[in-house]
Structures are given as C-alpha cells and as structure tokens.
Structure 1
Amino acid sequence: MCRTTTVLRALCKKGDLDRAVDLLERLQNPVPVPVYVSILKACCQHQSLLPAQRLHAHLIHQKLPLSGTLIDHFVLTLARCGAWEDAHVALDSASVFSWTALMSAYADRGLFSEALHVHQKMVEKGIMPNNYTYVALFKACGSIPDLVMGMELHTEALMRGLATDVFACNTLISMYGKCHAAVDAECVFELMSEHTLVSWNAMLAASIEDGKGEKALWIFAQMCHEQVGADQATYVTAIQACTVLAEQEEWTMRLNNKEVALEIGKALHADTSRQDIASSSFVGSTLINMYNKCGAIIDTEHTFSSLVQPNIVAWNTLISAYVEQDQGETALQLFVFLQHEAVVPDQTTYVAVLQACASLAEKEDTFEMSSSSSITLCIGQALHADIITRGFESVAFVGNSLVTMYGKCMAIDEAEHVFCSYQHTTMSWNSMLSVYIEQGLGENALFLYMQMQESIQDERTLVMALLACLTLSEKEEALVIEGQSVKVMSLEIGRTLHAKAQQSGFICDLFVCSALISMYSTCGYMKGADFVFCVMPYRDLPTWNSMLSACVEQNLGAKALWLYKEMLKDGFTPNQRTFVVLLQACTILAETEDTTNQEGFMHKELALLIGQALHADARYFGFTCDVFVGNSLIAMYGKCGSLTNAELVFSSLSQRDIVSWNAMVSALVDLGQEDNAVRLYRLMQKHIVTHITLTRILQACSSTGSLDYCRQLHFEVVSAGYDQNPSLAATLVSAYGGCSSTSDMQMVFFGILEPDLTTWNACIAGHAGDGDFLLSFDVFERINLAGVIVDGVTFIKVISACARTALVPEGLAYFKSMTVDYEILPDMKHHGCLLDLLGRTGDFKRIESFIDRMPVQTDVAFWLGLLGACTRGNLELAERAFENAVNLQPEQSTPYILMSNIYADAGLQECAGG
C-alpha cells in the first residue's frame, strides 16, 4: 500500500490524473484520506473535472463517507472546474471551508452576485463564517460594486472580530476603493496595526479609483518617507496617478496639471529604470499611457522603443496614444507594422484602429464630401472584414466601435446593420444613439430610446436622449410666448425626459444636469435651466460652464458675467472653455443697443472694460496662448471697437488656425477697415480659406462697392465649391446688391437651387438699394409663391424699400400686413423703419400719433432717427426727441449736433450756440 501511495502522489505531481484514478479503481482497498486530498488538489490545480468525478464514484464504491477535508476539497475542485450545480449539491454536508471556497470560485469567475447568494444560503443553514469568508465577500462587493452590502458585511465582520487581520483589511481597502468610498478606505488603513506593501498598494489603488491622482502621489511620497520597498505594482499605480492628474483640467501654482504630472512621471520613470523594471511590458505600457495623457508623444515613442519585447498591450497603448493625439494615420500605419512584426492583434487593437478611422472621418469637410472620406470608409470596411475573419464581430465593445466608425463615416445603413448583428449592452444602445445624434437624426434617436428597456438605461442614455431633443429643437420653428422664442414640441419632450431623470434617480448626475440646462436654454425656456441649476445639490466646473453657455445662447451676456463672479466666490477655477464663453458674453454686451448704465458707461465701453479684465484673468491662469481663448479675445475686441487690442492678440498667437484669421478679418470689417480686411485676406490665401472667410470678405466688398473684386471673389467661391452654401449665396447676393450690380445679383440668385429666406431678403434689399422698389415688391410676392415663410427681417427690408421711395401708403400697408396677416410682432427696428418712412415725407402728425401708440420701449437710435427727420421742420417734436436721446445717452455728441443744426435752420441762433 505504501508503494501505491507513493506512485499516486507522483502521478498527481506530474498531472497525470487519468492514470492516477485508473490505479485507484483497480485497488481493492481504499487509500489514506490525505492521498485522496492530494488527487483532488491536483484536479483543482489543473481544473480537471472528470478525474474528480471518477474519484467521487470510487469513494462511493469503497463506501467511504464524503466528509471533513475530503468534502471541502471536493467542493473546491467542483467550483474551480465550473461544476456549480454539483458543488451546491455537495454543500449539504460541507464545512465553512467549502462554502467559502465556492464563494471565492464565483468571485474569481466574475460571478459576484452568485457569491453573495451563496453567503445568503450559508446564513440560512446556520454555518458560521470565518475571516476567509468575509475576504471573499468583500472582494465580490467591490467588484459589483455594492457599497451598501459591503458596509453591512464589514459591520458584521467587526462584530464577529473577523475584520482586523491584515488580509481582511487589505481586501476592505480594495473594496471601498472600487466602490469610490476613498474616505472609508482611508479609515480602514489608518486603523490597521501594521501596514504591508499590499496595504499601501491597495490604498494607492483606492485613490486612483476615486480619481484623486494628487492624493495617490502623496501616499506614494509617504511610502518613500517610511522606506517601504516599492514593487512593480506600486510603480504602476503611481504612474497611473500621474495619468489621472494629467486628465484633470485644473491648475497648481499657475502650472498646468499636465506639466506637473509629466515632471513627476519622468521622475518615476527614472526610478523604474534604476530598478530595471521600466522595460517590462506591464510598467512600459503604463508609462506610454502616462506620457500620452501628458501630451508628450516623443517620450511615448521613446518608451515604446525601449521595450525589449513589447506585447500586444504595449502595442495597443501606443496605437491608442496616436489616436488620442489626433494622429489617426500614424495609428493605422502602426497597425500594419504590428502585423509585419508577427504580433497577433486582439479585440482591443481593433477597437483602437476603428477609433483611428473614426478620427480621420471626423476631419473630413462634410460640405465638400471629398473623396478621402470614402477612403476612410474603405479602410473601416477592410478592418470590419478582418474582424469577422478573426471571430470578433460578436464581441460587444468591438461592435460598438464599428457602429461609431460607420457613424463618423456617415454610413448610417452599415452602422444599423452592425448594431442589429450582436447582443446589445447599454453601451451598444448608447453608441447607436450617438450616431443618430451626430448625423442630426433626432427623431431616429428618440425612437431608438423608446425601444430600450428602462432596466438597461443609464445616465449616459438619458444624456443622449436630451441631446436628441436638442437636435430636434434646431429644426423646429419657435413660437413667441411671453416675449420669448420657445421651441414648444422639443420643450415638451425635454420636460418628459426631465421627469424620467427624477424617477430613475439620475437627476443628481452632473452630466444629466448639464444636458438638462442645455436642453432648456436651446428650447428657449431659461426658467427651466435656472431651476435645474439652482436645485443641484453640488456643482462642478462643467456645470457652471453649461449654465454660462445657456445664458450666452439666450443673449443674456450680463447674467453670464454675474454668474462668473458667483462661480469664483464658490472657489471654482475657470478653464479655457469658461473664458471662451465669458468673452462671448462680453461680445453680446457690446452688441446691445447703447444706453448708459448707472456708472455712466455705455454698453460697448463697459464690455471693453470687462473684456480687458477677463483678458488679465486669462493671462494670470496661463490661457492666453490657447488658440480658442485667443480667437475669442480677437472677436471680443473687434465687437468692442478696440482694433489695436485685437491686432495685439492676433500677432501674439504662436499658433493661428483658420478661426483666428477669420476673427481678425471680421474685426476689420466690423470696424470699417475693409481695405485692410482685403489685404489680410490676401495673406490668408497662403493658408486655408473657408466659407466663413469668403463671407466676411464679401461683406467688405459690399461696404466698399468694389464690383471687380466682388466678381473675383465670386469666382473663388465657385472654384471652392461653395456656390450652393446658403450663407455664402446670401452674402454674394447682398454683396452684388451693395455694389449696385443687380444683373450679377440676379444671376447668382437664379443659380441657387433652393434659396433660403436670408437669400430672398438679400435680394429685396439689393433691388431697394438700386432704387427699383417694384422689383423689391415683386421678390416679396415670389417668396410667398415659393412657399417660404417670411420673418421680421423680410418686412424690415420691404418697408425700408418703401421709405427710400417715399411710398407711405404701401409701407403702412406692409406694416399692417405683418401684424395682421403674418402675426409677426414688430420690434424696435420695424418701428424705426416706419419712422424713417413717415419722416421722409414730413408727416409729423402721424409720427406723433405713432410714437404715442408704440408698444415697445424706445432706444437712442430711434430718437436720433426722429431728430434726423425733424430737420425737415418740426421744432417741438425735435426737442422731444432730443430730450429722450440725451436722457438715454448724455455723453453722446450726435443729438447735440443735430439739435444745434435744427435750431440754426429755424433761425434760433442763440439756442444753437447754447
């Protein structure tokens, strides 16, 4: 028997389990229990289920009871081999060891809810847990994650005295970290009597899970101070802390977090090199990702090159780095090189290269629809074929990436086909929703959202639905309700989604709140945006930026600037986007009709002062080199009339994009520097020129009346393929009208396939400017015949045409038709046009009657227009206009000059001199 026992142990050691069981089955008598345990341990190690089942049959044949350590190891073997039902059956006579083994096996397989269910049955059976039981349960709770259950089990373990050993405490720290309860993790850590390296690593990981990179680096510094020897896992976590820090849009001592993270990351890299672990794929991949997040692509490449044998993880990390750095072509080239090196791509590789394709497709000009976008689609289709060959098409996250790639390539049918071909996760639904939204298919997105089961919807799903609502609102005609332009249908859908957010408990999510604020502001209901913002339990910087953007979208520049002060009071540090939005708010303030505020400043002067203060803030935080902030500064200074400052910002930009050039051209055009704008445009032609550039230069041509140059630009518009662009077409019509070339204007107009209302309005103004009022009226009639809905601007153009030719009855008829037939409420500009019409004919009685019945508040431009009309005679009305103009703007010289001239014409020299 002794010899048989030795042979059995040797066979187990070799892993030859079938021969071991064959030998057992030939024996007449049973062997000692430790030998059976050795065979079961080997079965567990090699995950060999059949030999374990044969051993069980042998035990039954030998009439040996399955109890004690034998049953414990049998249950453990069944669990490790995935024979869950058999393991559960065997549990009836098992000890706490078996129950714990089954829980651990479930947890190791990722079946965490099943592990908790086993614990429930164990409690019902009255079996007392041990410290290993709680370790398995803590691991399960952390992986689900289920903080409430984890805390209950922690309390239970403390009451039983089973939560104080190092092993349990380390698992608790890990559990709390994964549940984003870093404070609880820290409490466990502080109460430990001793800390092992595993304890420190768990605490580092908990800080990373909580997104606290700076805290993790502080813990690492404490480790070094206490001379705790770091291992590979320690350095990997510390490098990940640098990555987290680099991703946070914050500033430390006027330094960008990326710069701080890069310096610390380089120091950690040096440490790993000294310990000869930097070249391992595990550490190397983490370093590559860290350098990428810090924007140090050269260091990323050097680190990859230093790896002796980079594994697929390292390759994937480098490919992803190129994608994140917007170098999609390089990422695809690296994918080809990877295969030449005989490295087999995995699912993550294909996800990364599909993202590269999506990135390249995003760069394409959707208006031009250039052939290169079809090349990107062909590459994506080839990758799709490769994915099918390798059998990855049914993997959800690969399918999601395919959906996104096809969406970016505007291949909606292919995206839908892929979406229908695999098992959907929540992320799959969200990916398809995102495709519809990006392509402006709000209706499709909302229909898909309605098909989703509520159980699989998450916060991002709701954000997508709200974005779909925004897409719908862009196509919806607004109705004027209580003086506000409201998108009624989109608003109702948005309110329904708001109610769902409250029901589902997503209303506290910051992304959901930001999306709700954007939805309400886009739909024209600022009360809703204000309500969401005010009831939020806490806010972050993106939420503040969303609220600032909402104010700007609704032209509430002053409110946005006031909110900025409140934001600073709450201790938030602005980022680039904050300054971009605030500078837009200054622009709105500058474009507001000028009145004098309590401090005696006009709006444009006040906007300039605030803009300069914001410029100083941006300089303090180091954002003036940012191209987006720089572009916004140029635009703001242009609208505030400060050309010198606009030029200084433009010249100081180290990197100028097309928006920078366009902003400078716009500033010159707005400030009457048309010739300089044209000269700058000629310099621009060495760079890229967009339809926005051409629009602004054509506006300059319209102001200067340069017909030859206008025709030259027209040629460039056609050559660039922009002749059917609605905005440019309208500007071309307007430019030719400004140059008094109605023949060219009509040629452009009739060449447009589907002229929009802006183009029709430009055509009316062009004919009116040329003195051909009959053609202006004819165009107005043709707008109606074409089925285009006119707006308030249309009536401004047509009433102005009447004023130019003193056609008072016709002008009054159009004004009445606007309110009665078209239900358009007249604003200050309409009343100004009517005043001009009556003033040109000297009909002062009707003017006085008209002023007394005006339903809108007058501005300084209105009273100056009336003063100008009174030069034809009516001293009393002139004095009334003068008094109102001076009350609104006491420092403006124009009313004084006009009134002086009126007194002089009336022979009242003494009044004129006063």
Structure 2
Amino acid sequence: MKCRAILSTCFQRWVISIYRQSSRYNEKTESSASASIGVLLAASKACLVTRDLQAGKKVHSDASYAGHASDVFIATTLINMYAKCGSTVDARAVFDSMPQDVVSTTAMILGHVENGENVRALELFSGIVFRPDARAFVAALRACAGLAAGEDGQTIGGKMVKRDSLEKGMAVHHQATEAGDDTHIFVATTLIDMYSKCGSLLDARRVFDKMATYDVVAWNSLLMGCVENRESELALVLLSSMEDLSLAPDARTFVASLGACAILAECEAASEVHGQLLKVASLERGDALHSRAVDCGLDLDIFVANTLVDMYAKCGSMARARSVFDKLWHRDVVSWTALILGYAENGDAEVALELYSRMRRDGCEPDSKTLVAALVACGNLVALDAGRRIHDDARRLELHSNVLVGNALVDFYAKCGSMEAAEEAFSSITRKDTISWNSLVTGYSKQGDAEKVLSLFQRMQEGGGERIKPNSITFLSVLSACGHCGLVDKGREIFQAMAKQHGVEPGMEHFHCVIDMLGRGGHLEQALETIEAMPWAADATTWTIVLSSCRKWKNARIGRVAFDRLMELDGGKESSTYLLMAGIYASAGMRAEKEEVLQLARHVSSDVDVITDTT
C-alpha cells in the first residue's frame, strides 16, 4: 500500500508538470485557448494529492479565466484541494462564491475538520438548510471526535468522559437517526469512533450491536475504542469474536490488539525470568498475536511493526523489540521513538541515548515524542549535559514550547536539581497543563523548598486564563514538602481542603504523607487518630511510618502499638521491625524490653547480632 501511495504521488506530480508545460499554464501564452473542465479537474486533483498550494492557486486562476470556477465539480475539487493544502481561508472563499449543495458543504465541513477547525465545522453543519446525507453526518461526527481530542475529560462513574463533545455528538447522532442514516455502515463506524473518543464505550457498543452488517473497519473502530478507553481485555475478547465470524484481520486490527497487550503489560507485575523482569502473561499474548501477524504477512507493515516494538518494550523484552526493529527495511520516527523509550523505561538509558544519536546520524528528525523519550533517558541517568543538548534540539525544531516536550524538560531539570533551568523550561510552555505545574512543584518539593512549593500551589489556582486544578499528585508533593519542613498546621489545612474545596479524594499515599508529617512533628496521638479515620485498613507501610516516628520521639507506648500491628500483618518475619522497636526501647532506657525484642528477632534473622553490634 505504501508503494502504491508513492507511485500515485509521483504520477500526480507528473500531471502537474505536464500542466505547467502546456501553453495554458505558461504565463507568456496566458491568453491562449481556455483549459477544459476535464483538464482543470485532473490538474486540481493532482495538486490535492501532492499538497502543491502554489500550483493549485494557478489552476484556480486558470479556471476563473476560462469561466469554469463556478462549475460545481471544479469548485468542490478546489475546496478539497485548498483544505488539503491547509488553506481553509481560500477554501471558504470558493465555497461562499458558489451555489451550495450537500456535496460542496460536506467538502467544506471536512476541510475544517482536517485542519483542526472543528467548531467552525459544526457551525457550518448546524446551518445546513437542506437534508444532510451520510457523508455530511460522517463529517460532523468527525468534528465531534476532533473536539474530544482537545477537551479535558471529567471522571463520571469511574470513566474519563469528554462531556461537551459527547453532547454535541449525541445531537448529530439524533439527527442521523431521524434521517434514517444512523445504520449506514460509514455513519455507524464513525459513531463508534466518536463515542469511543468521547469516553462512552457503552454508547459505541450500542451502535455496533445495532449494525445489520459488519466489516473489518467497524470491528477495528470498536477494538481501537476499547484500547483508547483502556478496556484491553474486552478488546481481545472482541478480537476472538471477530475471528469466529471468519473476518480476516488487517494491519489496523493488529495495531489495536497489540496496543491492548501493551496496556495489559503496564498493569501487570513483572516476574524475574532468567535474570530478566518480564510481564509474562502479556508477553505470551503479544507473542501469539505476532505469530498471527506473520501468518497474515503483516508483521513488517510499518504500523504493526512499530506497535510490536512498543508492546515488547512494555512487556520488558527489549531483545524481541530490537529484533522487530532491526528487520524493518524502512524506519520512521515512530519506530525509533518506540525503541528509544523502551530502553529508557527498561533501565538501559545509555542505549536509549546511543539510539537517539544514531537516529540523528541516519537523518531522521525527532518529533515531540522522541524528545520526551530521550529526556526520560537523561533523567534516569541524571545526565545534565546530554539533556541540555536535547533541549537545544527542541529549540532548533521549535518544539520547546510544546506541552509534552516542555513538561519533560521541567521534569528532567528538576531531577537534576537544576531548578533555575526547570523554571525557564516551564516559562517556555505555551499552554501549561496540570502536569507542567506538577513537574515544577514536585521538583521544588524534592529540594525541600516548601516556601516555593506553597507559592506555586497558590499560583496554580490564581492563574487567570491559565488557572489549573490541582490533582492528587499536586497534593502529594505539597503535603510531602510540608511534612519535611515541619509545616504541620499548613499541611493539615491543605489536607482537609483536598476533598471539600478541590474535589480531590485523598488516597492512601496522602494519608501516609499526613501521618508522616504528624509523626515528624511529634503529634503521635493525632497520627493514630488519622489512621483510625482512614477509609481503608492500615497496612505495613502505615505502621512502619508510625514506628519510625516513635523512635525519633522515644515514645515506647505508641511504638508498641505500631509494633504489634506489624507483627499481625507480616507474621513477625521482618527483622527491621524488631530492630526499630528495640531502638525505641533503648532510647527510652527500657533495657529489659529491648533484650526481649532482640531475642525474638534472633529467631527471624541470624544477622541481628551483627547489626546490633555495629550500630
């Protein structure tokens, strides 16, 4: 298919070349015989395929000179051409100057959609005075899906839903139902895609289940919807159902299914196999899909191969990921990025940076995701000089203000302790999001600069047009900073405001921060009260925090409470618990109790005497 596309583009460029050489295109003979509609159509379609705006404008000029610019076929093709070339202003000028029908209006709606002007697309659709057809509904639904991509979701029923886009999509769906077009296979498939992108997989499934006939495109839309909504198990169940119907999978089917395996791997605990940490269950499923892709002759399709690299990396098998990558005769930026990020996330940051350099030497320019992957590697190595070079690449490519790259730069510099550079990177981000602020807040929190953390926390909420809602990660960093700097009252105030004022329910880690903060401040009774107020049972981490605080404050009574709870939870198997309690008794001058605990510890570990002798 890729070769076919290349040949088609070459042919269209040849068409434009012939057109340019003709006497009708030559400016010296501009007064010669007018071009026919057929020639103008062929030339404008060629400009559409090659995205040659300059040649397209000349074809438009020739069409006007010949008196054919208002012809519905010429005008509609010109709209498509201008839209494909990214000039919706010119496309709209053609549209506004011609007799409008459903075909030209649909072309203009799609033009707006393809250029990210989804609001204008829906405005145009809502103003249609004639009956929309299936293609018009498809265009409007694509606009709704495009809006969803830029909308911040809301958690409803545990799902991330793009409410505004969903409501607009439902309104278009209602119109399509009234027109009898909702079961049209192209409309239904686009509805599935739209509902999936809006976070309503249930509605997507309802549309799918009502379809009279299914093709692989419809199945792929639902599969991809499951992956986008992280319903990976459901995606693989649907794949089995698809095969039961003897529908042959295509490249997109494998991309979706392998993507599902990658998500499952992210959620699976790694197991050590021959010295490697692997996500075994996900890896087995991914291997099976890989074998089927080989059987179908699709394993070297660039999209399938890129997803294989990512899937194997997520499963921890960089050998398999590298094997797929090395077999590719053509590698694009996605291929390189998947491999670089895989090595970075699997503890081989040096290899990741070597690959980044090799990619550059091979003439492949990094995109925003590549830069992020390389910065992850630099952060893992705390390689400040290498990160600065990547920052220079980001500036050269004018991607330093991109939110993904900017966030990665802030995080990287913060990990290196270079907070001045982190602030500079933060300031460069054109449109900051919660992650941008969290990266900076977390950086200062780890530096122990509570004053700066609290200042940023306040700025987040006051930022006018840039006002950002703090989330659970924000509060974790703020509470941690308060705890380490002894700001107990301020920390408790912020903790109490989490749910009441900000709508963020505290998790176990937030309670642990508060318990640690109270313990560090010597408020051990209040720490116990906080444990009692938790909506979950305290775990070993909870009581270890309390036990450590009791050692600092020589509180044997509360320390014994924490010690007994730990004995119940781990069965007395952790020698460190005994040593902590022994230390508390020693600091409180309770020698008999100390020896009793150490005697118990000797039954757990023979190293106890060595440890106590050296401490």
Q: Aligning the two structures, in what range does the TM-score lie when normalised by the shorter sequence?
A: 0.7 to 0.9
Mapped to 1, the partners of 2:515 and 2:484 lie a distance apart of 22
2:22 is the counterpart of 1:128: no
Mapped to 2, the partners of 1:397 and 1:386 lie a distance apart of 15
Question: Cα deviations across residues 272-297 of structure 1 (Å, max 9, x unaligned)?
Answer: 22332222321111111222223223
Which of 219, 234, 241 is the matching residue for 2:143? 241
Please say if residues 548 and 560 of structure 1, whose CA atoms lie closer than 8 Å, have aligned partners that are also in contact. Answer: no
Which structure has the larger Rg over C-alpha atoms?
A: 1
Q: Please tell me the residue identity of whatever aligns with 1:437.
A: A
Which residue matches 1:421?
A: 327
Identity of aligned residues (%): 26
Which residue matches 1:291?
A: 195
Which of 148, 152, 170 is the matching residue for 2:76? 170
Mapped to 1, the partners of 2:335 and 2:299 lie a distance apart of 13
2:381 is the counterpart of 1:472: yes
Mapped to 2, the partners of 1:125 and 1:181 lie a distance apart of 26
What SS class does the counterpart of residue 308 from structure 1 fall into?
coil
The 3 A distance-change label for structure 1 pair 419 and 466 is same
Q: Please tell me the residue identity of whatever aligns with 2:405.
A: V
2:248 is the counterpart of 1:344: yes
Please say if residues 107 and 136 of structure 1, whose CA atoms lie closer than 8 Å, have aligned partners that are also in contact. Answer: no
2:387 is the counterpart of 1:494: yes
Q: Please tell me the residue identity of whatever aligns with 2:217.
A: V
Q: CA RMSD in A?
A: 4.1
Please say if residues 441 and 478 of structure 2, whose CA atoms lie closer than 8 Å, have aligned partners that are also in contact. Answer: no
Structure 2 counterparts to residues 221-260 of structure 1, below 5 A: 221-223=126-128, 227-250=129-152, 258-260=162-164
Please say if residues 271 and 278 of structure 2, whose CA atoms lie closer than 8 Å, have aligned partners that are also in contact. Answer: no
Query: How much has 1:384 moved relative to structure 2?
Result: 1.3
2:57 is the counterpart of 1:154: yes
Mapped to 2, the partners of 1:440 and 1:701 lie a distance apart of 37
Mapped to 1, the partners of 2:426 and 2:497 lie a distance apart of 26
The 3 A distance-change label for structure 1 pair 547 and 199 is same
Which of 381, 385, 394 is the matching residue for 2:287? 381
Q: Please tell me the residue identity of whatever aligns with 1:541.
A: K
Please say if residues 138 and 150 of structure 1, whose CA atoms lie closer than 8 Å, have aligned partners that are also in contact. Answer: no
Structure 2 counterparts to residues 832-871 of structure 1, below 5 A: none
The 3 A distance-change label for structure 1 pair 512 and 710 is same
Question: Cα deviations across residues 745-777 of structure 1 (Å, max 9, x unaligned)?
Answer: 78878769xxxxxxx9xx7xxx6xxxxxxx4xx
Q: Please tell me the residue identity of whatever aligns with 1:362.
A: E
2:479 is the counterpart of 1:587: yes
What SS class does the counterpart of residue 414 from structure 1 fall into?
helix
Q: Please tell me the residue identity of whatever aligns with 2:304.
A: V
Question: Cα deviations across residues 792-839 of structure 1 (Å, max 9, x unaligned)?
Answer: xxxxxxxxxxxxxxxxxxxxxxxxxxxxxxxxxxxxxxxxxxxxxxxx
2:19 is the counterpart of 1:115: no
What SS class does the counterpart of residue 458 from structure 1 fall into?
coil
What SS class does the counterpart of residue 219 from structure 2 fall into?
helix
Which residue matches 2:432?
A: 541
Query: How much has 1:331 moved relative to structure 2?
Result: 1.6
Mapped to 2, the partners of 1:306 and 1:247 lie a distance apart of 26
Which of 77, 85, 101 is the matching residue for 1:196? 101
Query: How much has 1:520 moved relative to structure 2?
Result: 2.2
The 3 A distance-change label for structure 1 pair 698 and 213 is farther
Which residue matches 2:444?
A: 554
The 3 A distance-change label for structure 1 pair 108 and 385 is closer
What SS class does the counterpart of residue 327 from structure 2 fall into?
coil
What SS class does the counterpart of residue 246 from structure 1 fall into?
helix
Q: Please tell me the residue identity of whatever aligns with 1:557.
A: V
2:374 is the counterpart of 1:438: no
2:537 is the counterpart of 1:684: yes
Question: TM-score scaled to structure 2, two decimals?
Answer: 0.79
Which residue matches 1:268?
A: 172
Query: How much has 1:305 moved relative to structure 2?
Result: 1.0
Query: How much has 1:531 moved relative to structure 2?
Result: 3.0
Which residue matches 1:713?
A: 566
The 3 A distance-change label for structure 1 pair 367 and 381 is closer
Which residue matches 1:827?
A: none
Query: How much has 1:397 moved relative to structure 2?
Result: 0.9
Q: Please tell me the residue identity of whatever aligns with 1:561.
A: F
Q: Please tell me the residue identity of whatever aligns with 2:110.
A: A
Please say if residues 373 and 409 of structure 1, whose CA atoms lie closer than 8 Å, have aligned partners that are also in contact. Answer: yes
Question: Cα deviations across residues 232-251 of structure 1 (Å, max 9, x unaligned)?
Answer: 11111212222223333348
The 3 A distance-change label for structure 1 pair 181 and 515 is farther
Structure 2 counterparts to residues 311-350 of structure 1, below 5 A: 311-350=215-254
Q: Please tell me the residue identity of whatever aligns with 1:258.
A: K
Mapped to 1, the partners of 2:223 and 2:492 lie a distance apart of 46
Bigger relative contact order, structure 1 or 2 (CA pairs below 8 A, ≥6 apart):
2
Mapped to 2, the partners of 1:372 and 1:211 lie a distance apart of 40
The 3 A distance-change label for structure 1 pair 159 and 564 is farther
Which residue matches 2:214?
A: 310
Question: Cα deviations across residues 58-104 of structure 1 (Å, max 9, x unaligned)?
Answer: xxxxxxxxxxxxxxxxxxxxxxxx9xxxxxxxxxxxxxxxxxxxxxx
Q: How many residues align?
A: 569
Q: Please tell me the residue identity of whatever aligns with 2:119.
A: E
Mapped to 2, the partners of 1:700 and 1:110 lie a distance apart of 72
The 3 A distance-change label for structure 1 pair 412 and 250 is closer
2:463 is the counterpart of 1:567: yes
The 3 A distance-change label for structure 1 pair 118 and 373 is same
Q: Please tell me the residue identity of whatever aligns with 2:377.
A: A
Mapped to 1, the partners of 2:313 and 2:346 lie a distance apart of 8
Query: How much has 1:366 moved relative to structure 2?
Result: 3.3
Q: Please tell me the residue identity of whatever aligns with 2:350.
A: E
Deviates most, 364-373 or 579-588: 364-373
The 3 A distance-change label for structure 1 pair 609 and 346 is same
Please say if residues 152 and 162 of structure 2, whose CA atoms lie closer than 8 Å, have aligned partners that are also in contact. Answer: no
The 3 A distance-change label for structure 1 pair 665 and 237 is farther
Q: Please tell me the residue identity of whatever aligns with 2:381.
A: L
What SS class does the counterpart of residue 541 from structure 1 fall into?
coil
Mapped to 2, the partners of 1:334 and 1:697 lie a distance apart of 48
What SS class does the counterpart of residue 355 from structure 1 fall into?
helix
Which residue matches 2:583?
A: 737
Which residue matches 2:30?
A: none
Which of 257, 262, 280 is the matching residue for 2:184? 280
Mapped to 1, the partners of 2:549 and 2:560 lie a distance apart of 11
Question: TM-score scaled to structure 1, two decimals?
Answer: 0.55
For structure 1, the 5+ residue unaligned runs are: 1-81, 83-105, 474-489, 595-602, 619-623, 632-656, 724-728, 753-759, 768-774, 780-914
Mapped to 1, the partners of 2:304 and 2:286 lie a distance apart of 13
Question: Cα deviations across residues 156-186 of structure 1 (Å, max 9, x unaligned)?
Answer: 7437736843444434443444455545544
Please say if residues 557 and 588 of structure 1, whose CA atoms lie closer than 8 Å, have aligned partners that are also in contact. Answer: no
What SS class does the counterpart of residue 161 from structure 1 fall into?
helix
Mapped to 2, the partners of 1:714 and 1:335 lie a distance apart of 48
Which of 277, 297, 318 is the matching residue for 1:391? 297
Q: Please tell me the residue identity of whatever aligns with 1:540.
A: R
Query: How much has 1:396 moved relative to structure 2?
Result: 1.1
For structure 2, the 5+ residue unaligned runs are: 27-34, 446-451, 587-593
